[in-house]
Amino acid sequence: MERQKKEAVVAELKQIFQDAQAVFLADFKGLSMETLMSLRRKTRQAGAEFRVAKNTLVKLASKDNSVQQLEGLLEGNNALGYTQADPAVLAKALFDFAKDNEKLVIKGGVLGAKALSPGQIQALAKLPSRPALLSSLLGTMQAVPTSFVRVLAAVPQKLLYALVAIKQTREAA
């Protein structure tokens, strides 16, 4: 690769690393091109990208940003999965694909400024989707005021029951 092309790739990777919410590193050794293309399609459907890059270029591009924490993992055949959207969706897509293709090995990643181990990425993949978490939070937030209103409404309701009972006993007597 010519020096100008390498510089362009490094600049592109730097921009990707700055914009991405999460970057995951995976070893794809032994995967066929057809399988790799299906993985790329699956990550695109998840709103992310998956690309192969030379380790030396990734090291150069990761200087002065959080992806530099992955430098120790940059050995062998590596590909980068990155997203500007929900990182859990990308993690889920990668782990779902890795279940079917044992040759894909998630090595680690970065979420924001924090380095993640493969186990942490798997835990991220097991999280429910963002809309499901938001609806659960909304349900929890609505439960407290609803319970409070029920308690407040119970006091006059019980007074009303007592008055009706008194009325019925007086009418009976």
CB–CB of 51/113 below 8 Å?
no
In a domain, 161, yes or no: no
What is the per-residue pLDDT across 39-70, written as a single tens digit (0 to 9) for each?
899 889 888 888 888 888 888 888 878 777 88
Read off the CATH number of the domain in which 115 is found.
Answer: 3.30.70.1730
In a domain, 66, yes or no: yes
CB–CB of 27/70 below 8 Å?
no
pTM comes to 0.72
What is the per-residue pLDDT across 85-112, written as a single tens digit (0 to 9) for each?
888 888 888 888 888 888 888 888 888 8
Count of structural domains, the chain: 1
Angle between helices 118-126 and 87-100 (to 10 degrees): 110
Percent of the chain with pLDDT over 70: 99
Mean per-residue pLDDT, 64-87:
84
Q: Which domain holds residue 16?
A: 3-127
In a domain, 167, yes or no: no
In a domain, 23, yes or no: yes
The C-alpha atoms of residue 111 and residue 117 are separated, in whole angstroms, by 11
Identify the CA nearest to 80 among candidates 42, 27, 148, 155: 27
In a domain, 160, yes or no: no
